[in-house]
Amino acid sequence: MKKILIVFGTRPEAIKMAPLVNEFEKHADSFETRVCVTAQHREMLDQVLTFFNITPEYDLNLMKPGQDLFGLTAAIINKLKPVLDDFKPDYVFVHGDTTTSMAASIAGFYAGAKICHIEAGLRTHNKYAPFPEEINRQLTGRIADYHFAPTTAARENLLKENTPLKNIQVTGNTVIDALLQSVEKVKKQPSPLVQQLNHQLQDAPVLLVTGHRRENHGDGFIRICEALKTIALERPALQIVYPVHLNPKVLEPVNRILGNIANIHLIEPLAYHDFIWMMDRAKIIITDSGGVQEEAPSLGKPVLVMRDTTERPEAVYAGTVILVGTNTQKIIKETNALLDNQQHFNDMSSRHNPYGDGKACKRIAEFMRSLVLETTNV
């Protein structure tokens, strides 16, 4: 029996890895699977673990106030050593582009484990955008032994970097697995917060906003807020819901510019299940999040992306998202176009989601089972 250690530390990673944990638990005859969380995020991470009924065997609890990338990277590597020494995994699974993924892949490599990279092959080819995620993902990709790419475009990126084709599997994105498993559960069991929001919003059209990227801090967020202010004042019937990230560099401009506008609802960050409901309730989503670019098209929601470049160009090509950057006028123009032109809205909301069908985790588990059989028979 092979040992699998699944490592993650942030809420987005937890959402995308949770269905994989559940899938591997179905194959207890082939794998002993354990979960290690670094708690790079703490409270938001715990909400997801509770929602998906996952109890980690290892919790490094590394989150500290004011923690920088230097300290975090060093802490993850150092704290993972005892875990790796204890469990001695054959395979370490990491996800995406976080500091946890990059540092855990280094630690797993040092320990002699094979590294398996979920959501592999995404690239902007600009190491400063997003920062530090682009380099985290590239470094993880160089260390990884097996690459689970969400799309054929991601596979092509890996092939251009001389990754062996036999070590790449195109699976779709596990976030779609999580989304499709969750959306019906959320509808059947609405939280008290969802019930409150539903009462406040009534039947009004909703614009959902999320934003936190480092590269947008400063002038970028000021321009974003000015665009939202203009849209809100010009369209009093439109309700703008903005779960505001707790980073002071986000909180300050958002509260200062948008805090006293009647149809803008500035709320605390939502738990995963509440955010799923909110996405499903929204008419349009404006975001700088990578995960939302993947999730929203499965719910038929047009997405305006507040970034100048994206490591998920498939969504741009498929027409499910539009890049607007932090350009005030472009955000206003594209939002108005979707609100005023029903044909344009219908076209964008009905496009095929390029990120999968909700069976990514099954494909990953099947590949690992075949890999184990292959190595056993050699």
Residues identified as active-site? 97, 119, 133, 212, 214, 245
d(CA 104, CA 368): 20
DSSP readout, 88-135? --SEEEEETT-HHHHHHHHHHHHTTPEEEEET-----S-TTSSTTHHH
DSSP readout, 309-376? --S-HHHHHHTSEEE-TT-HHHHHHHHHHHHH-HHHHHHHHTSPPTT--S-HHHHHHHHHHHHHHHHH
- The DSSP H or E segment spanning 33 is strand 31-37
| Prior bond of 190 cis (ω within 30°) | no
d(CA 83, CA 60): 9
d(CA 256, CA 122): 35
State phi, psi for 168 to the nearest 5 degrees. Answer: -115, 135
d(CA 13, CA 241): 24
d(CA 89, CA 33): 9
Q: Is the separation of the CB atoms in 16 and 178 below 8 Å?
A: yes
DSSP lists the bridge partners of residue 264 as: 240
